[in-house]
Amino acid sequence: MSGLLGRIRRKATAPPAAPRTADDELFGGRRVLDRGFARHEQAGLQMSFLAMARRIPHLVARTAGLAWSVDRTALCTVAAAEAGQGLGAAFGLLATNRVLVRLFAAAPTAQRVEAALPSLAWVAAASALVAVLREISKAATGRLEPKVERAAAVQLLRPVIGAELAAIEDPEFRRLLDSAQYGTDAARRMVHLNVAVVNALISLASAAGVLAVLHPVLLPMLVLIALPKGCGAVRSARRRYRSIQAWLEHLRKRHQLAGLLIEQHTATEIRVHAVGPYLLRHFEAMSQEGEDEQARLARAEAATGLAAGAGSGIATAATFVVLGVLLTTGMIPLAVAGTAVIAIRTSTLQLGSFVGQVNQLYEESLFYTDLERAVVRAVERAIPRDGSDVGKPPDEIRLENVTFTYPDRSAPAVDDVSLTVRRGQIIALVGENGSGKTTLSKLLAGLYMPDKGRITWDGTDITDLDRSSLFAHVTLIAQDFMRWPFTARTNILVGRPDVGPDPGRIDRAAAYAEADAVIAELPKGLDTLLDRNYSEGVNLSGGQWQHFALARAKFREGSVIIADEPTAALDARSEIAAFARIRELAADGCTVILISHRMASCRHADTIYVLHHGRLAEQGTHAALLARPGSLYASYYNLQADQFAP
Ligand X SMILES: Nc1ncnc2c1ncn2[C@@H]1O[C@H](COP(=O)(O)OP(=O)(O)OP(=O)(O)O)[C@@H](O)[C@H]1O
Name the residue nearer to ligand X (CB basis): 71 or 432.
432
Number of residues that bind ligand X (CB under 6 A): 14
- Region near ligand X per CB under 6 A, out of 279-287, 437-445, 488-496, 549-557: 437-445
Report the alpha-carbon distance of residue 490 to residue 568 in Å, rounded. 23
Residue 559 lies near ligand X (rule: CB under 6 A): no
Name the residue nearer to ligand X (CB basis): 48 or 479.
479
Residue 434 lies near ligand X (rule: CB under 6 A): yes
Residue 596 lies near ligand X (rule: CB under 6 A): no
Binding residue (CB under 6 A) for ligand X from 431, 495, 558, 566: 431
Nearest to 402 by CA among 443, 432, 364, 345: 443
User: Looking at this protein, which amino acid is placed at residue 432?
Assistant: E
- Region near ligand X per CB under 6 A, out of 328-336, 339-347, 401-409, 483-491: 401-409
Name the residue nearer to ligand X (CB basis): 371 or 610.
610
Report the alpha-carbon distance of residue 145 to residue 125 in Å, rounded. 30
Pairing of strands 426-431, 414-422: unpaired
Residue 566 lies near ligand X (rule: CB under 6 A): no
Residue 601 lies near ligand X (rule: CB under 6 A): no
Residue 436 lies near ligand X (rule: CB under 6 A): yes
Residue 435 lies near ligand X (rule: CB under 6 A): yes
Report the alpha-carbon distance of residue 21 to residue 285 in Å, rounded. 8
> CB–CB of 203/85 below 8 Å?
yes
Fill in the per-residue mask, 461 to 500: x = in contact with ligand X (CB under 6 A), - = not in contact: ------------------x---------------------
Residue 406 lies near ligand X (rule: CB under 6 A): yes
Residue 612 lies near ligand X (rule: CB under 6 A): no
Name the residue nearer to ligand X (CB basis): 69 or 640.
640
**Nearest-approach distance from CB 620 to ligand X, in angstroms:** 19
Exposure of 229 in the CB half-sphere (CA atoms within 13 A): 23
Residue 409 lies near ligand X (rule: CB under 6 A): yes
Residue 438 lies near ligand X (rule: CB under 6 A): yes
Name the residue nearer to ligand X (CB basis): 358 or 426.
426
- Region near ligand X per CB under 6 A, out of 57-65, 408-416, 527-535, 575-583: 408-416
Residue 410 lies near ligand X (rule: CB under 6 A): no
**Nearest-approach distance from CB 594 to ligand X, in angstroms:** 13
C-alpha 341 chain-centroid distance: 49
- Region near ligand X per CB under 6 A, out of 48-56, 338-346, 430-438, 570-578: 430-438
**Nearest-approach distance from CB 474 to ligand X, in angstroms:** 17
Residue 536 lies near ligand X (rule: CB under 6 A): no
Residue 437 lies near ligand X (rule: CB under 6 A): yes
DSSP per-residue codes, 374-440: HHHHHHHTBPP--SB---SPPSEEEEEEEEE--TT-SS-SEEEEEEEEETT-EEEEEESTTSSHHHH
C-alpha 146 chain-centroid distance: 17
How many other CB atoms sit within 10 Å of the CB of residue 13? Answer: 7
**Nearest-approach distance from CB 428 to ligand X, in angstroms:** 13
| Residue 567 DSSP one-character state | T
Considering only residues 317 to 336 of the shown chain, the ones binding ligand X according to CB under 6 A are: none
Q: What contacts 314, CB < 8 A, 6 or more positions away? A: none
C-alpha 305 chain-centroid distance: 32
Residue 527 lies near ligand X (rule: CB under 6 A): no
Report the alpha-carbon distance of residue 259 to residue 265 in Å, rounded. 11
Report the alpha-carbon distance of residue 420 to residue 415 in Å, rounded. 16
Strands, sheet with 474-477, edge to edge from the N-terminal-most edge strand: 474-477, 560-564, 591-595, 426-431, 607-612, 615-620
Considering only residues 134 to 173 of the shown chain, the ones binding ligand X according to CB under 6 A are: 169
Where along the sequence are the contacts to ligand X (CB under 6 A)?
Answer: 169, 406, 408-409, 413, 431, 433-439, 479
